[in-house]
Amino acid sequence: MIEKPKTAKDRIILALDTDNLKEARDLVRELKDYVGYFKIGLPLIVNYGFEAFRLLEELGAKCYYDCKFHDIPHTVQKACISLVKNNIDFFNVHIQGGSKMTSAVVRASKAAAKSMGVNPPTILGVTLLSSFGQRTLTTELCVDKNIEDYVLQLARVAKDSGLDGVVASADETKRIRQAFKDEEGAENFIILCPATRPTWASVNDQVRVDTPRDAILAGADFMVVGRPITTADDRIGAAKLIIDEIESTIEEKTAV
């Protein structure tokens, strides 16, 4: 399992939401000293496959694979074993795949890591996509719960299945931390905020959006930041602004 972040920089996961490997390489070279991880998702994987992971390895950068696997248990097991064999030690799956799927993923990934003599991967469970709002949940998915209750239930499935943490918004993070606070292993449970936007950035196509300050005060360990940094005129300057906001919020939280 990966270590919890020790510095403000380590908390930032930069989304490489590009389908161009050269552009990804340029971003990693420029920003690897200002973020903790780089998120690889569908655009790069569909175009370049494992070459995208090798790029990060070559440049000495750390990877978070946003694969969001959601399929029958056997299929997802096989996919996760392949990730472990290819040194991908931080990735996610959809909790909505059900407890049979998530439990199978944990067992298979740990067994693969043990057979290779490496540390088991860190696997997070995706609760609800950040582009979803209450209307989508209620009218399209026919889920008769408010979002925070629904996400808390999914987080429970994740924890009981042995996943290392979840992907959830700041408001949901507060609920999860409160609900799990007295349980064994609660201090090691990882929560990642997926759609983090500083106040000076556009929300784009996200619905449930949080600022870096929101994420830290709620108890999140990591936050994914994309376009506020990658499309900025001064990308390093934008990253530094977010680092400053995280550091000042940690100081504020510690002082309380």
Q: Active-site residue numbers? A: 68
The C-alpha atoms of residue 112 and residue 81 are separated, in whole angstroms, by 6
Question: Where do we find the tokens 């000293």?
Answer: 33
Token pair listed for 25: 């390489």
Give the 3-state DSSP-derived string for 177-246, with helices as H, strands as E and coil as C. Answer: HHHHCCCCCHHHCEEEECCECCCCCCCCCCCCCECHHHHHHHCCCEEEECHHHHCCCCHHHHHHHHHHHH
| Rg, the chain, Cα only | 17
Q: How far is CA 71 from CA 66, 79, 203, 237, in A?
A: 15, 10, 30, 40
Among residues 80, 226, 62, which one has the least CA distance to residue 162?
Answer: 80
